[in-house]
Amino acid sequence: EQLRIIMNSENSQLPDTSDPKILELMRDRRQLKKLLNQKINSNTYITHTLAASKHSHSLDMLKYLVDKCNASFYTMADNDGFTARAIALASEIEAKHVYANTHGTFLGRYIIDGGKGLKSNPAYKSLTSTVYFAHDVSKMENDPMYQVAIKIMTCEKSFLKVRELSEGESLSILLSGEDIPLSSGRYDANAIVALYRFHDEIDTTGKAYQCLVFQKEGKNLHQIINSELVAGNDEITIQYYGRRIAKCIQHVHSKGHIHGDIKPQNLIRSSKNYMKLIDLDDSVAMGRELTKNFTSAFISPEYARALYGYNCNEEGEESIQEQITELHKKMIKLDLSKNEDIDTYQVVNEHIQALLSKDACKNKSEEHLLASPSVDIWGFGVIMYYLCIGRPLFLYNLESNFATESEKNRLLMWKGLSRTDLDVPTCYSEHFQELVKTFLMKCLHVHPVERFQSMEEILDHDIFLSIDD
């Protein structure tokens, strides 16, 4: 009845009706939604009619039906193939166009991929942040800033730190939602994924959000390895990706910082086939204390020992050796032809490995808890091992942490790599096989002083000299 009046009357006032049938229908939202999503004639729906109407109350009624009654705005198409939203977007009424353009958006401008807003599946999630892919309705579709990655952060300290690292000289003058000039950022956008803007504001739902809006790029290195079978196969691609990653890390170091969390998930391939770094949450200035938000499968052995280690006065060295001796005696007595003794052997052996790793951590050095190029160099070496050998150096889970306790013990007792340890794929040329061995043995040496000392030294290694940028 109200729709008929809107369509046929010049009167801007809607009638006041108390028809009990209408009131009952309004209360039964499920039946109302079913009715609203049925055609009102052979061609169109009620929401489409309201979207096209120029009546002064048509927008209010459209909002009510879509927002309160769950009438279809995006999916139901009329006989001409248009949804109600598409019709409203083309409206000459500015308020209706704005409503259609921003409806269902996050912070009034971002439509989250997946169609369910913040209930959509995120691209990535951790304890401190959630990342969604989205498009910015305030930009034209051909604008490079139209496709974005939104990182919603729950830690204000990390939010402010990443802003400071990324924005550079613009930090003090930019307001929430303002675009950051690419020329004013601290880092080159060809090395670090560009930060477009930040938001520190309240959404239309009344909830406060702190988020960073980044350039959206392609697959991360973990996805590339899994889907494109590059690792252990294609020496040209391995050299190219390795060199590009090394130059990204070199760029961060040139600004007086380390990245602090080098791993496959933090390396993204751009549309130009460049590799770029993301996630500066753990980046710190050289010489400053490292964060404790590490991913264990990519940290160096000396850093791991400093984290997990202890001083001799906490538990005597002799006590550890005595425990190991007693366990060895127990192992000798086992009969490995019996299933129960095999199980016991495995338990005892794991206990011995844990004690050996603990022994390797004695007299921990606090200097290894400070930021230096070696932190990122080790992580780069672990990535290059995966790319060159075709399997990870340490087994890790989806969060890039050790899959098992025994993997952690392997790192704590790390002795370096020898030629016999390196099972280099024979599909490579003999020359490349030799380069892989010399490179990995040096990059993953047990002693930090025997490793590469800078990214410049890495880039000068013969493994990368035949590759152009």
What percent of the chain stands above pLDDT 90?
Answer: 41
Tens of pLDDT, residues 434-461: 999 999 999 999 889 999 999 999 999 9
Q: How far apart are CA 177 and CA 188, in angstroms?
A: 21
What pLDDT shows up at residue 242?
96
Residue for token pair 């996630």: 279
Tokens, residue 129:
């942040």
pTM, two decimal places: 0.75
**pLDDT for residue 313 is more than 50:** no
- Asked which of 69-83, 101-115, 167-181 is least confident by mean pLDDT, the reply is 167-181
What pLDDT shows up at residue 382?
97
Tokens, residue 458:
């890495």
Tokens, residue 436:
């892989």
What pLDDT shows up at residue 324?
65
- Give the pLDDT band (50/70/90) at residue 14: very low
Residue range 219-231: average pLDDT? 94
Residue for token pair 């370096």: 416
How far, in whole angstroms, is CA 223 from its chain's centroid? 12
Residue for token pair 């889907």: 227
How far, in whole angstroms, is CA 156 from its chain's centroid? 18
**pLDDT for residue 429 is more than 90:** yes
**pLDDT for residue 428 is more than 60:** yes
More confident residue, 433 or 21: 433
Tens of pLDDT, residues 247-281: 999 999 999 999 999 999 999 999 889 999 999 98
Residue range 397-419: average pLDDT? 89
Pure H helices in 214-300: 221-228, 235-254
- Give the pLDDT band (50/70/90) at residue 321: low
Contacts of 15 by beta carbon, 8 Å cutoff, 6+ apart: 1, 2, 5
**pLDDT for residue 241 is more than 90:** yes
Burial of 326 per CB tally in 10 Å (0-12, 13-18, 19+): exposed
- Asked which of 195-204, 338-347, 456-465 is least confident by mean pLDDT, the reply is 338-347
- Give the pLDDT band (50/70/90) at residue 7: very low
Task: Compute the residue count for the chain.
Answer: 469
More confident residue, 285 or 368: 285
Residue range 299-315: average pLDDT? 71
Tens of pLDDT, residues 77-127: 888 888 888 899 889 899 998 888 888 788 888 989 987 888 899 998 888
Q: ∠ CA 293-297-301 to the nearest 5 degrees?
A: 90
What pLDDT shows up at residue 15?
47
Q: How far apart are CA 124 and CA 180, in angstroms?
A: 24
Pure H helices in 273-404: 301-308, 317-332, 339-360, 373-389
What pLDDT shows up at residue 58?
86
Q: How far apart are CA 40 and CA 24, in angstroms?
A: 20
For helices 235-254 and 221-228, what crossing angle results, to 10°?
180
- Give the pLDDT band (50/70/90) at residue 312: very low
**pLDDT for residue 335 is more than 90:** no
DSSP string, 154-214: S-HHHHHHHHHHHHGGGTTT--TTPPPPGGGSSS-TTTBPPEEEEEEEE-TTS-EEEEEEE
Tokens, residue 431:
């020359």
For residue 5, give the amino acid letter: I
Pure H helices in 37-83: 46-52, 58-63
Other Cβ atoms closer than 10 A to 277:
22
Residue range 365-374: average pLDDT? 80
Give strand pairing partners of 221.
none
What pLDDT shows up at residue 6?
46
Contacts of 272 by beta carbon, 8 Å cutoff, 6+ apart: none
Give strand pairing partners of 197.
213
Tokens, residue 440:
């990995």
- Asked which of 11-15, 71-75, 129-133, 394-398 is least confident by mean pLDDT, the reply is 11-15
